[in-house]
Amino acid sequence: MNHSFAKVSALLIIIFSLFITSCSTQKKPIKKSTAKVVSTIPKTPKELPVKPEVLKLNLPEVNREFRAAWIATVANINWPSKNNLSTQQQKDEAIKILDLLKQANFNAVIFQARPSADAMYKSNLEPWSYFLTGETGKAPTPFYDPLEFWISEAHKRGMELHVWLNPYRAQHTTGGPITGESMVKKMPEQIIKLKNGMYWMDPSDDKTQDHVSAVIKDLVKRYDIDAIHIDDYFYPYKEYNGGKDFPDNRTWNMYQKSGGNLSRADWRRGNVNKFIKRIHDEIKQEKSYVQFGISPFGIWKPGFPEGIKGSSQYDELYADAKLWLNQGWLDYFSPQLYWKNDGPQSFPALLKWWESENTQNRHLYPGLNTVGLNGVSDRPAEIVSQINTTRNIMKGGAGTIHYSVDGLSKSPAMYNSIKNAYKTEALVPKTPWIKTAPLAKPILSVDNGNNSANAKWNAIDNQNVFQWILYAKYGDTWETEILEKNITSRNLPLNKNGKKLNTIAMKSVDRLGNESDYDAKKL
């Protein structure tokens, strides 16, 4: 019995030992892995993202040339034709002018919004113009803002609107009676009466400069304009004051008493120079893309270039326009070269000389005398010759401004000659020194019909688009068309002159003529 008990005891000890060993060697639970399982099985073609085909195209260059006309409002020269027209008659005349220019492939108008310290727009700084309503300070009835209207209608047609103003002329001889609304009454110390009946602001008075600065800043801030443009009236021509010197004794004496030691002529030029630089800088500070253009008298000094005779803007108008061009205080320069190709004021000689002074590579668009060029038997042929001369000298940055639109609207021969010279559409030349954000590529879609392809397009940055360029390729030949912003579709025939339409492309263009990348579709 004791032997059996010993066996049983030994067996129990073995079983207990096995139990303890089993417990001590049991595996701990495995933590759940957070690692992602990457499949090594390749995706089928249907699962791979499909990249849109990018067409590599060699699109043709679009023609570029600045083509503008001055619209003079002073003395009702161009618009409105009378100062007693109704609002609707004024609008009708404006549209007629713009359509006339658009049909001849012009791409800009230079609109005189401030003929003489007055306004062709709603201003809190100066009165409504006598030339608009026949009464200084009287608004149009029914009310509208003429400048706003001109801007809107020009832009609808893909044309720039440049605001032209005279900085110092305060009252024109045709400007009606001087009333309490006139700036002549509101700025009596700064405004001088000349012997021909005109009134002129003293360019050397700080209050004059501050006032004109405020007018320009107001225009740039409130209106969707493309440029500010000032003409050749700085100090007045001597014949305006009976050949006598400008009577600025008050400000000259103040300058001398303050210790100034410049000559009177240099002091005058210095004040105009200061004003030009100030206006340029203030425009750019307000809206960097708004251009500043100046259209000075075409001769800097007699003898520049050699053989040139005539008046001296430097000595008579106290305008050192060569300095402004040399310094780049402007975006475009339009000397009034209102003379024929040969003679004592040679058009090509003067243009070449101004181009030699264009050290900052600004736009150089000569002003052409389309209305009253003297000494030529065939005026239209002479103007077309000057357009071609400008193209040869300026190459891809060519451009001209015509004084004035009456030379086109009142002479079918002149109009048809210039229309033929501008027979293809043109974008304005690029302005690379004005930096802007690049445009986004437009979005193009094409649907094929039986006989035509319907192209539609838009842009995510539509607010920055000014125009479109539509490209259509028939066989191996590209056709291009510059379109207004509001046109966003076009039906194109699938066959033309025996050639099939095979590719359509689209670019957008901003207000400075910069092009986007293209979107394109193969058919």
DSSP string spanning 104-156?
Answer: TT--EEEEEEESSS-BSS--SSSPBPHHHHSSTTPPPSS---HHHHHHHHHHH
Taking residues 464-475, what's their average pLDDT? 98
Q: With contact defined as beta carbons under 8 Å apart, do 363 and 384 qualify?
A: no
Q: CB count, 10 Å around CB of 204? A: 25
Who's near 197: CB < 8 A, 6+ residues apart? 173
Lowest mean pLDDT among 31-35, 208-212, 228-232: 31-35
Chain mean position to CA 423: 22
- pLDDT band for 181, please (50, 70, 90 cuts): very high
With cut-offs at 50, 70 and 90, classify the pLDDT of residue 123. very high
- pLDDT value at residue 52: 58
Any residues with CB less than 8 A from the CB of 355 and at least 6 apart, and which?
364, 393, 394
pTM above 0.85, yes or no: yes
* pLDDT for 28 beyond 90: no
Taking the C-alpha atoms of residue 297 and residue 310, their distance in angstroms, rounded to an integer, is: 11
CB atoms within 10 A of CB 95: 15
> Residue 449's pLDDT is what?
87
pLDDT of res. 513: 97
Element containing residue 506 per DSSP (H, E) = strand 499-509
Alpha helices in 223-362 (DSSP H): 249-257, 264-286, 313-316, 321-327, 347-356
State how far the Cα of 490 lies from the Cα of 480, in Å rounded to an integer. 13
| Choice between 372 and 169, residue whose per-residue pLDDT is larger | 169
Residue 8 has pLDDT above 60, yes or no: no
Question: How does pLDDT run across 293-350, given as a tens digit for each residue?
Answer: 999 999 999 999 999 999 999 999 999 999 999 999 999 999 999 999 988 999 999 9
- Going from the N-terminus, what domains does the chain have, and what CATH number goes with each? 66-421 (3.20.20.80), 443-522 (2.60.40.10)
pLDDT of residue 54: 73
Neighbours of 463 (CB within 10 A): 6
What's residue 49's pLDDT? 54
pLDDT band at 379 (very low <50, low <70, confident <90, very high): very high
DSSP label at 160? E
Euclidean distance between CA atoms 338 and 370, whole angstroms = 8
